[in-house]
A and B are shown apart, each in its own frame.
Chain A
Amino acid sequence: MSGSFAIVDLVEVSKRFPGVRALDGVSLQLWPGEVHALVGENGAGKSTLIKVLTGAYRPDGGQLKYEGRAVSFANPMAAQAAGISTIYQEVNLVPRMSVAQNLFLGREPRTRFGLIDRARVRKEAAEQLAAYGITADVDRQLDSLGVGARQMVALARAVSAQARVVVMDEPTSSLEPREVQTLFGVIDSLRARGIAVVYVSHRMDELYRICDRVTVLRDGRVVHTGKLAELERVRLIGLMLGHELSEARRHAHAGTSPAIQGGTPVLEARGLTRKLHQRKVLEDVSVTIQPGKVVGLGGLLGSGRSETAKAIAGAMPLDAGDVWVAGAPVRTGSTAAALRAGICLLPEDRKGEGIIPNLSVRENIVLAAMGRLSRFGVVSESRQNAIVETFIRRLRIKVSSPEQRVRELSGGNQQKVLLARWLCLNPKVLLLDEPTRGIDVGAKAEVSGLIDELAQSGLGVLLISSELEELIEGSSEIFVLREGRVVKHLGPGEVTEAHLLAALAVGSPAEEPAHHG
Chain B
Amino acid sequence: MADAQRVDRARILAWLQDYGVYIAVGALLLVNALITPNFFSVANIQTQAVQVAPVVIVALGMALVIGTEGVDLSVGSSMALAAAVLPLYLGYGAGVAIAVALAAGAGAGLVNGALVAFVGIQPILATLALLVGGRGLALVVADGQLKQIENPALLSLGAEDIAGIPILVAFALVLTLGVAFLVKKTTFGRHLVAVGDNRVASQLAGLPVGRVLVGVYVLSGLFAALAGVLASARLTASDPSSIGNLIELSAITSVVVGGTPLSGGSIRVVGTVMGALLMQLLRATLIKHDLPDSAGQMTQAVIIVLAVYLTRERAT
Binding site for B on A (CB under 8 A): 16, 57-60, 72, 313, 315, 335-336, 338-340, 345, 347, 352-359, 363, 367-368, 370-371, 374, 377-379, 421
Contact = CB atoms under 8 A, between A and B. Distances in A.
Contacts of B148: none
A371 B186 CA distance: 9
Interface in B187-230: 187-188, 190-191, 193-194, 197-198, 200-208
Contacts of A72: 2
A352 B206 contact: no
Among B191, B198, B266, max chain A CB count under 10 A is at: B198
Contacts of A335: 203-206
Contacts of A58: 2-3, 6
25 contacts: A59-B3, A60-B7, A72-B2, A336-B208, A339-B206, A340-B206, A345-B204, A353-B200, A353-B201, A354-B201, A356-B198, A357-B198, A358-B197, A358-B265, A359-B194, A359-B265, A367-B194, A368-B207, A370-B187, A370-B190, A371-B187, A377-B186, A378-B185, A378-B186, A379-B185
The 8 closest A-B pairs by CB, nearest first: A58-B3, A339-B206, A368-B205, A358-B265, A356-B197, A374-B187, A356-B194, A356-B198
A313 B206 CA distance: 10
A355 B3 contact: no
Among A59, A336, A355, A356, max chain B CB count under 10 A is at: A356
B-side binding surface: helix, strand, loop or mixed? helix
Interface residues of B, number: 26
B202 A356 contact: yes
A86 B200 CA distance: 31
A336 to B, nearest CB: 5
A374 B198 CA distance: 22
A374 B184 CA distance: 13
Interface in B134-193: 185-188, 190-191, 193
B207 A367 contact: yes
Contacts of A379: 185-187, 190
A58 B266 CA distance: 29
B117 to A, nearest CB: 14
Contact of B206 (A336, A347, A357, A363): A336
Nearest to A74: B2
Nearest to B198: A356
A421 B187 CA distance: 16
Interface string B1-12: 011101100000
A107 B78 CA distance: 53
B187 A60 contact: no
A292 to B, nearest CB: 25
B190 A352 contact: no
Contact of B204 (A60, A347, A358, A374): A347
Nearest to B200: A353
Contacts of B193: 359
Contacts of B265: 356-359
Interface string B229-273: 000000000000000000000000000000000000110000000
Contacts of A355: 198, 201
Contacts of B203: 315, 335
A60 B4 contact: yes
A428 B203 CA distance: 20
Nearest to A345: B204
Contacts of B202: 356, 367
A16 B7 CA distance: 9
A340 B206 CA distance: 9
B208 A359 contact: no
Contacts of A313: 204
Contacts of B208: 336
A352 B194 contact: no
A177 B203 CA distance: 36
Contacts of A356: 194, 197-198, 201-202, 265
Nearest to A335: B206
A363 B205 contact: no
Nearest to B181: A378
A37 to B, nearest CB: 27
A465 to B, nearest CB: 20
A371 B211 CA distance: 14
B3 A315 contact: no
B216 to A, nearest CB: 15
A60 B3 contact: yes
B3 A367 contact: no
A379 B183 CA distance: 11
Interface in B2-43: 2-4, 6-7
Contacts of A371: 187
Nearest to B264: A358
Contacts of A315: 203-204
A406 B226 CA distance: 38
Nearest to A425: B206
A406 to B, nearest CB: 10
Given A335-B206, A336-B206, A359 B185 contact: no
B18 to A, nearest CB: 13
A59 to B, nearest CB: 6
Nearest to A350: B201
A263 B2 CA distance: 67
A368 B3 CA distance: 40
A359 B193 CA distance: 8
Contacts of B205: 335, 367-368, 421
Contacts of B185: 378-379
A264 B186 CA distance: 39
Contacts of B201: 347, 352-356
A354 to B, nearest CB: 6
Contacts of A59: 3
A357 B261 CA distance: 14
A367 B205 CA distance: 7
A462 to B, nearest CB: 15
Given A355-B198, A356-B198, A359-B197, A370 B204 contact: no
Nearest to B189: A379
Contact of B194 (A336, A345, A363, A378): A363
A515 B38 CA distance: 78
A39 to B, nearest CB: 26
